[in-house]
């Protein structure tokens, strides 16, 4: 009895000394959590109910900022632009990345060279690639239209970034150029698909397309879900290329005024900090809702090896 | 789709088709780079040409008594060195260029109809001029200060925290880990304004602290990555050290860190790259031009002097090439890092 009590006591002492060293090791994260997340999140929520220009202390105005958002045309414009961008860039990016990964997974000569070619654009500094895009897609003297003019049937190539109807698709193309990251993730996933499944399918006389549909796609679905969620979160925060390509104007005709760009201007051009915080919270809620929606619907298309459905 | 080529070789048409598609997509992905690099050695006049030209061409000049004069060609094939040109009357003072390359007597003729003669040549001047223009030396130093500090900060703080989360059994570690994961879900826009206000109140706007210090407070993404790695280190190794009286700090420093070099390299590399590419952070916190990073410098160059695309392409190349070189030297670290973080699918 006494011995058992001693063991418990010692274990308890051990645990509490563990707690101390655990806390000490995690100190940077605890400070970071408090200073970079908990406080700013709380302050941001508070500011979102205030009139605040930094120079004067925040003044409580209740839901005033949110009410003004409801009638702010630019707010809805930027929201629409962002949804439009996400709806194009995320699926196209995933399809292109999947296709490239499938091609790379065929053991052909020069695979590493191709992989590098597809990956490298994704590490080009965003500012540099945004600046490059301005000139590449220059309607008169850019390379893209130079090539397009040689394509039969294209007499008048688009004005790209100078045309309100084409500006967003141009930026979508920019984002597709940077899918290399997703290609590498998909490729790693493809290499984990059990090979005997394909062999079995072949014995049964399945075509290449049937194999992709019935084996590759289900096995890859968790990776696709990951890319989908990351892509969604990323596009709601999309900022740098839009800022650089348009000199921050979000033009032409507000066609590239994305949500995060609009928010940045409200905060740091107009110094409407409270208003910007209200926008940030609307963004936050939308991102969370979109993520939940994706996870909920993912139960239908995501396959997990253990056999359970995708209850995430 | 699999490595079945050893068993049954793929039909030839399939292999050819795959190669063809890969070549096509590679060409599409490489084209922007080609444009960037060729434009960086073109003259601005050439970049503005419609339709655009792929090969960098330089105007041909001829030496006329110690002065370099541009050479023009008349429709009949005669070549002239243009000494002076009166834009109002469209008359030009020219010297004919003889077959042996020397110049003849001075004459006056109609300028209209003359075409500048150009041949393949690289306009390297964009580089020194562009770099001087954006004060490259200073901006590179500024960028490196932030990049290196961030890399050190992330490796140090994230490895400590990940050790605390993965290798020490204490109450609340799970809770803390979930909290760190949750921070990754919060859009930076939510915390952007209050953080700016805090730094402004501390009078630290226009210093590098707002860009560096957060790296020392264990960014969640890298904690996630390192914790995964630390969990995979066998428990026996650290238990043995503990029996010999080694403390947690000793185990962290002498066993776990040396075993985790590849993962630490990934964290350092990604943190460095993140800081190198960061634009929003410097944009918010750095207003003094002498403090600018390369991202900020190039973006402001682009918005203010859009009519010097040659120099702009040159400085963009200079900002991009080191990153690509870094990638070639550390490919394994890169690929491992991406798959480590992407695997959680």
Q: What is the pLDDT of residues B42-101, one digit of tens each?
A: 988 888 887 888 888 888 888 888 888 888 888 888 888 888 888 788 888 888 888 777
A17 CB within 8 Å of a chain B CB: no
Which domains does chain A carry? 72-301 (1.10.3720.10)
Helices B261-277/B331-342 angle, 10° precision: 90
Residues of A in contact with B337 (CB under 8 A): none
pLDDT on residue B267: 93
> Helix (H, G, I), strand (E, B), or coil: what is residue A207?
coil
Quote helix, strand, coil % in chain A, to nearest 5. 70, 0, 25
Q: Could you tell me what percent of chain A has a pLDDT over 70?
A: 93
Residue in the structure block whose two tokens are 């930076």: B188
By C-alpha distance, which of A189, A176, A188 is closest to A217? A189
Checking if the pLDDT of A130 tops 90, the result is: yes
Task: With a cut of 50, say whether residue A240 has pLDDT above it.
Answer: yes
CA distance B175 to B344: 19
Closest Cβ–Cβ partner in B200, B298, B342 for A131:
B298
Interchain pair A23, B299: CB under 8 A: no
pLDDT, mean of residues A10-17? 70
Q: How far is A64 from chain B (nearest CA, A)?
A: 18
Give contacts of A 242-301 with B, CB under 8 A.
243-244, 247-248, 260, 263-264, 267-268, 273, 276-277, 279-281, 283-284, 287-288, 291
DSSP B290: G
CA A185 to chain CA centroid, Å, is 15
Burial (CB < 10 A; 0-12, 13-18, 19+), residue B201, is exposed
pTM value? 0.88
Task: Please tell me the distance from the alpha carbon of residue A172 to that of residue A86, in angstroms, as a whole number.
Answer: 9
Contact B22 A110 (CB under 8 A): yes
pLDDT tens, position by position, for chain B (345 residues)? 444 444 456 778 888 888 999 999 999 999 999 999 999 999 888 888 878 888 888 888 888 888 888 888 888 888 888 888 887 888 888 888 887 777 888 888 888 888 888 888 888 999 999 899 888 999 999 999 999 999 999 999 999 999 999 999 998 899 999 999 999 889 999 999 999 999 999 999 999 999 999 999 999 999 998 998 899 888 888 888 888 888 899 999 999 999 999 899 999 999 999 999 999 999 999 999 999 999 999 999 998 877 788 999 999 999 999 999 998 888 888 777 777 665 433
- pLDDT at res. A308: 42
Which tokens sit at A121? Answer: 């654009």
How far is the C-alpha of A115 from the C-alpha of A36, rounded, in Å? 37
| Secondary structure (DSSP) of B21-66 | HHHHHHHHHHHHHHHHHHHHTS-HHHHT-SS--SS-EEE-EEEETT
**pLDDT at residue B3, rounded to an integer:** 45
B37 CA to centre of own chain: 13
In chain B, residues 227-246 whose CB comes closer than 8 Å to chain A: none
B171 Cβ neighbours under 8 A, 6+ residues apart: A15, A19
Please give the angle made by the CA atoms of B10, B16 and B18, to the nearest 5 degrees: 80
Closest by CA to A74, choosing from A251, A204, A222, is A251
Query: Touching check for B75 and chain A: CB below 8 Å?
Result: no
Q: Which residues of A touch B18 (CB under 8 A)?
A: 103, 106, 108
Predicted confidence at residue B54, as pLDDT, reads: 82
For residue B68, the SS3 value is strand
- Return d(Cα B86, Cα B322) in angstroms, integer: 46
The answer to whether B149 and B68 have CB atoms below 8 angstroms apart is no
Cα gap A106→B4, rounded to integer Å: 9
Q: What CA–CA distance (Å, rounded) separates B76 from B316?
A: 42
pLDDT for residue A12: 67
Closest-approach residue (CA) in chain A for B170: A19
Predicted confidence at residue B81, as pLDDT, reads: 87
Interatomic CA distance for residues B113 and B75, integer angstroms? 7
A78: which 2 tokens?
A: 């930027």
Question: Is the pLDDT score of A307 beyond 70?
Answer: no
Is residue A102 within 8 angstroms of chain B, CB to CB?
A: yes
Q: What is the ipTM of this complex?
A: 0.88
Q: What is the pLDDT of residue B154?
A: 97
CA distances from A228 to A169, A298, B164, B239, B334 (A): 19, 10, 31, 41, 22
What Cα–Cα distance (Å) separates residue A250 from each residue in A169, A171, A261, B194, B315? 14, 12, 7, 25, 24
B273 vs B269: CA distance, rounded Å: 6
List of chain A residues whose C-beta atoms are within 8 Å of the C-beta of residue B172: 19, 22
Q: Which residues of chain B are within 8 Å of residue A211 when distances are taken between CB atoms?
A: 1
- Interhelix angle for B136-166 vs B173-185, to 10°? 140
> CB-based contact (8 Å) between B345 and chain A?
yes
Q: Which B-chain residues 266-325 have CB contacts (< 8 A) with chain A? A: 273, 276-277, 279-280, 283-284, 294-295, 298-299, 302-303, 306, 309, 312-313, 316-317, 319-320, 323-324
DSSP H helices, A26-72, are 27-32, 39-47, 64-70
Strand A50-51 versus strand A59-60 pairing type: antiparallel
DSSP state for residue B98 in the 8-state scheme: P
The domain locations on chain B are 57-120, 135-304
Angle (nearest 5°) at CA B7 between B1 and B9: 65
Q: Model confidence at A8, in pLDDT bands (50, 70, 90)?
A: low
Confidence category of residue A273, pLDDT binned at 50, 70, 90: very high
For residue A156, what pLDDT band results from cuts at 50, 70 and 90?
Answer: confident
User: Is the Cβ pair A110, B35 closer than 8 Å?
Assistant: no
Indicate if the pLDDT at residue A297 is higher than 60: yes
Q: Which of A74, A123, A283, A307 is nearest to B191 (CA)?
A: A283
Reported as a single tens digit per residue, the pLDDT across A175-198 is 999 999 899 889 888 988 888 888
CA A151 to centroid of chain Cα atoms: 33
Check CB contact of B17 with chain A, cutoff 8 Å.
no
* CA-based nearest residue to A127, from A247, A254, A259: A247
| Nearest residue to A188 (alpha-carbon basis) of B328, B18, B26, B335 | B335
| Domain range B135-304, CATH class | mainly alpha
Q: With residue B80 as reference, give the H or E element that holds it.
A: strand B79-86
pLDDT band at A214 (very low <50, low <70, confident <90, very high): confident
Q: Average pLDDT, whole number, for chain A?
A: 89
- Residue bearing tokens 């925040």: A58
Give the CB-side neighbour count of residue A251, counting CA atoms within 13 A: 7
Q: Contact, B311 vs B302, CB < 8 A?
A: no
pLDDT, position A206: 85
**Least CB–CB distance from A198: residue in B2, B185, B312:** B2
A185 and B294 within 8 Å at the Cβ level: the answer is: no
**Radius of gyration over every alpha carbon of chain B, rounded to an integer in angstroms:** 30
- Within 10 angstroms of residue A111's Cβ, the number of other Cβ atoms is 15
Greater pLDDT, B54 or A310: B54
Do β-strands B57-59 and B118-120 pair in parallel, antiparallel, or remain unpaired?
antiparallel
**What gap in Å lies between CA A286 and CA A44, rounded to an integer?**
16
* A–B interface: beta-carbon pairs under 8 A: 305
Distance (Å) from the alpha carbon of A81 to chain B's nearest alpha carbon: 17
């Amino acid at each position: 009895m006494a011995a058992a009590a001693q063991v418990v006591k010692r274990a308890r002492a051990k645990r509490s000394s563990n707690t101390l060293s655990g806390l000490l090791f995690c100190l940077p994260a605890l400070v970071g959590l408090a200073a970079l997340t908990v406080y700013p999140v709380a302050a941001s929520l508070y500011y979102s109910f205030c009139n605040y220009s930094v120079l004067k202390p925040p003044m409580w105005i209740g839901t005033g900022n949110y009410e003004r958002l409801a009638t702010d045309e630019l707010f809805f414009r930027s929201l629409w632009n962002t949804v439009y961008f996400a709806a194009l860039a995320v699926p196209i990016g995933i399809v292109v990345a999947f296709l490239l990964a499938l091609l790379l997974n065929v053991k052909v000569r020069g695979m590493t060279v191709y992989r590098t070619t597809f990956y490298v654009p994704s590490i080009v500094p965003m500012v540099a690639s945004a600046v490059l895009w301005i000139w590449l897609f220059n309607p008169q003297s850019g390379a893209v239209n130079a090539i397009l003019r040689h394509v039969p049937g294209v007499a008048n190539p688009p004005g790209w970034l100078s045309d309100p109807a084409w500006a967003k698709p141009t930026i979508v193309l920019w984002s597709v150029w940077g899918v290399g990251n997703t290609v590498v993730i998909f490729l790693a996933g493809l290499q984990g698909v059990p090979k005997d499944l394909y062999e079995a399918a072949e014995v049964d006389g399945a075509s290449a397309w049937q194999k992709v549909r019935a084996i590759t796609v289900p096995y890859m679905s968790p990776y696709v879900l990951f890319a989908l969620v990351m892509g969604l979160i990323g596009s709601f925060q999309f900022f740098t290329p839009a800022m650089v390509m348009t000199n921050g104007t979000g033009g032409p005709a507000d066609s590239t005024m994305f949500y995060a760009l609009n928010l940045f201007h409200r905060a740091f051009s107009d110094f409407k900090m409270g208003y910007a915080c209200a926008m940030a919270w609307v963004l936050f809620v939308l991102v969370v809702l979109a993520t939940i929606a994706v996870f909920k619907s993912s139960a239908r298309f995501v396959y997990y090896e253990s056999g359970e459905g995708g209850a995430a | 789709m699999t490595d079945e080529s050893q068993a049954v070789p793929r039909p030839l048409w399939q292999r050819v088709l795959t190669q063809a598609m890969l070549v096509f997509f590679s060409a599409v992905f490489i084209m922007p780079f080609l444009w960037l690099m060729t434009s960086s050695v073109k003259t601005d006049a050439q970049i503005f040409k419609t339709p655009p030209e792929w090969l960098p061409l330089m105007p041909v000049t001829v030496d006329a008594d110690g002065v370099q004069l541009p050479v023009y060609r008349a429709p009949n094939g005669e070549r002239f060195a243009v000494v002076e040109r009166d834009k109002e009357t469209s008359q030009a003072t020219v010297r004919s260029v003889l077959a042996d390359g020397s110049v003849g007597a001075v004459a006056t003729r109609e300028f209209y109809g003359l075409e500048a003669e150009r041949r393949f040549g690289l306009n390297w001047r964009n580089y020194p001029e562009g770099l001087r223009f954006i004060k490259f030396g200073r901006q590179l130093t500024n960028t490196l200060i932030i990049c290196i500090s961030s890399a050190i900060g992330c490796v140090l703080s994230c490895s400590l925290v990940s050790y605390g989360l993965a290798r020490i059994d204490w109450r609340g570690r799970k809770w803390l880990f979930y909290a760190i994961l949750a921070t990754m879900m919060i859009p930076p826009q939510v915390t952007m304004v209050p953080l700016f206000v805090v730094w402004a109140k501390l009078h630290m706007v226009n210093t590098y602290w707002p860009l560096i210090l957060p790296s020392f407070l264990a960014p969640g993404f890298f904690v996630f990555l390192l914790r995964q790695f630390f969990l995979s280190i066998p428990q026996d190794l650290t238990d043995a050290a503990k029996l010999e009286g080694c403390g947690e700090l000793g185990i962290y420093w002498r066993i776990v860190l040396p075993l985790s070099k590849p993962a630490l390299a990934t964290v350092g590399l990604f943190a460095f790259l993140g800081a190198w590419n960061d634009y929003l952070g410097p944009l918010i916190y750095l207003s003094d031009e002498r403090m600018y990073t390369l991202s900020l410098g190039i973006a402001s160059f682009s918005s203010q002097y859009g009519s010097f695309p040659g120099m702009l392409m040159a400085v963009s190349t200079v900002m991009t090439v080191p990153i690509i070189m870094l990638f070639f030297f550390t490919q394994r670290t890169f690929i491992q890092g991406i798959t480590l973080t992407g695997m959680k699918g």
